[in-house]
Amino acid sequence: MDRTLAADLARLPQLLDATRRAAGDALASLDARPVVPPAGKPAADGEPESLPERGDGTEAALAAFRERWEPRLSASAGPRYLGFVTGGATPAALAGDWLTAAHDQNSNSALDGAGQDLERETVGWLRALFHLSPDHSGTFVSGATMSNTTGLAIAREWLGERLGVSPAEDGAAALGPVRVLSGAPHSSIAKALAVLGLGRGSLVKVPTLPGREAVDPGALDRALADTPGPAVVVANAGTVNTVDFDDLQAVAALKRRHDFWLHTDAAFGAFAALSPDHAHLTAGLDASDSLCVDLHKWLNVPYDSAVQFTRRRDLQARVFQNSAAYLGPLADHPDLVHLTPENSHRLRALAAWFTLRAYGREGHREIVERDIACARALGELLSADPAFTLLAPVRLNVVCFTLAADPTPARLTALREAAAAEVFVTPTVHEGTAALRAAFSNWRTTQADVHRAAQALRTAAREIA
Ligand SMILES: *Cc1c(COP(=O)(O)O)cnc(C)c1O
């Protein structure tokens, strides 16, 4: 064994302690350090370093990381990082993630260990959390984009079943032209269609309700009537700009008149089901044929984690089966290796298992409701300030706002950068107007953070005036 490696092995407990202390320091400083460090040079001390020919062990690597890279990372685990839709990691989720690395399982088959059974137990808990019926099976994937891609791959195979071909066997061209109908789809839907050989051009935008991002069910009805043959509908349960929800029950009811696969992108919107005041937004979720829920957002587990639910595991296995002599035939409960794009399968369910085991439905309901209350409070503070205008009501956990005077992209960038040490928000365009979004999904965020964020945005608006 390499001498440095052997020395590290001999001191493993001390090295783990040193790493734990470094993690503790980083988390303890979340409140004090800039939410996003000022943009800098490519590396803290100039050029990227070259590959070490001979290493000097974990302790030296840890010191180099803390000196050169740690100060340049964002405080995205903290309470005032409100960009995109970004969760942190609860204490239990962090513990689960550490142990995932320690055990380093390849949980993709029944050949060794109970890793995939742990994942199945966790999927059952998530099904209960979102009130899904046992007809939905689920698998963990690396994020909502991969969940949408997997769901739409199953949709593609369903189209083949309807037309008497198998795209998994014969290629996507066997389907002929395909239409994927959606009101205000997330950008990852177009990416998924590009990957799947259906093409970004197969996405047909259906009109939304006036002044809303929710699909107009009447317009969807007409678009389906105009579609020759079976179609795919992507319903949106939580759009990223204004967190608008399609009327999922009305969309599902169209199945009585039209032949379509219903995929629902509920990446973070599914968590509305945890709040009694907002659960109605997710009514009808269970009717989806495939369903995407992100976990590294509002469940507050570390990246990379999302789940893909479907009612047609048989079609899923037809697409993703990985036949190899050592894996054996597909059974009634196919191993995970036959269900997702990856073959090797990190035990990423463990972080979700830990946080659900530690805090339960109640603990996670409290996080969701506190974040919603924080979004509402920021919305009220900004709309009371003449410098800002809200572009949509705060429906759930996102505030979509802009400058009241002259909201150009350049001025919004200046505003974001002036506030970035205290609060991080991300740009968007809503109905043709350049805007900013503040999204609340971190378990640490409190009303005190809302006031700090509002103050920073006010000060920044004055500075750029
Ligand atoms: C975040 C998000 C995605 C993509 O999620 P990743 O985890 O970044 O792949 C897809 N759809 C919606 C609605 C989202 O909010």
Tell which CATH architecture fits domain 106-350.
Answer: 3-Layer(aba) Sandwich (3.40)
108 lines ligand 1 (CB under 6 A): no
Ligand 1 atom having least distance to the Cα of 143: 7
143 lines ligand 1 (CB under 6 A): yes
- In the 8-state DSSP scheme, what is residue 231? E
145 lines ligand 1 (CB under 6 A): yes
Evaluated on CA atoms 367, 373, 377, 383, the torsion sign reads: positive
With 90 as the cut, is the pLDDT of residue 6 above it?
A: yes
CB 355 within 8 A of CB 301: yes
144 lines ligand 1 (CB under 6 A): yes
User: Domain spans of the chain?
Assistant: 3-75, 106-350
How far apart CA 118 and CA 122 sit, in angstroms, is 6
Stretch (H or E) spanning 400: strand 398-403
Q: What is the pLDDT of residue 263?
A: 99
With 60 as the cut, is the pLDDT of residue 121 above it?
A: yes
Residue type, 324: A
Provide the mean pLDDT of the chain: 96
Q: What is the pLDDT of residue 171?
A: 97
For the stretch 286-328, pLDDT in tens is: 999 999 999 999 999 999 999 999 999 999 999 999 987 776 6
As beta bridge partners, residue 436 has 401, 427
For the stretch 45-86, pLDDT in tens is: 568 999 999 999 999 999 999 999 999 999 999 999 999 999
83 lines ligand 1 (CB under 6 A): no
Q: Which residue among 141, 142, 145, 282 is best mutated to probe the pocket of ligand 1, counting the most ligand atoms within 8 A of its Cβ?
A: 145
With 90 as the cut, is the pLDDT of residue 330 above it?
A: no
Cα-to-centroid distance, 208 and ligand 1 (Å)? 20
How far apart CA 282 and CA 269 sit, in angstroms, is 8
How far apart CA 297 and CA 318 sit, in angstroms, is 30
Cα-to-centroid distance, 308 and ligand 1 (Å)? 12
| Concatenated DSSP letters of 269-293 | GGGGGGSTTTGGGGTTGGG-SEEEE
With 70 as the cut, is the pLDDT of residue 332 above it?
A: yes
pTM of the model: 0.97
Burial of 402 (0-12, 13-18, 19+ CB in 10 A): buried
Query: What's the length of the chain?
Result: 465
Nearest to residue 330, comparing CAs of 342, 341, 315, 344? 315
Cα-to-centroid distance, 188 and ligand 1 (Å)? 7
306 lines ligand 1 (CB under 6 A): yes
Burial readout 350-375 (b: 16 or more C-beta within 10 A, e: otherwise)? bbbbbbbeebeeeebbebbebbbbbb
85 lines ligand 1 (CB under 6 A): yes
What's the pLDDT band for 175 if we cut at 50, 70, 90? very high
Q: What is the pLDDT of residue 348?
A: 97
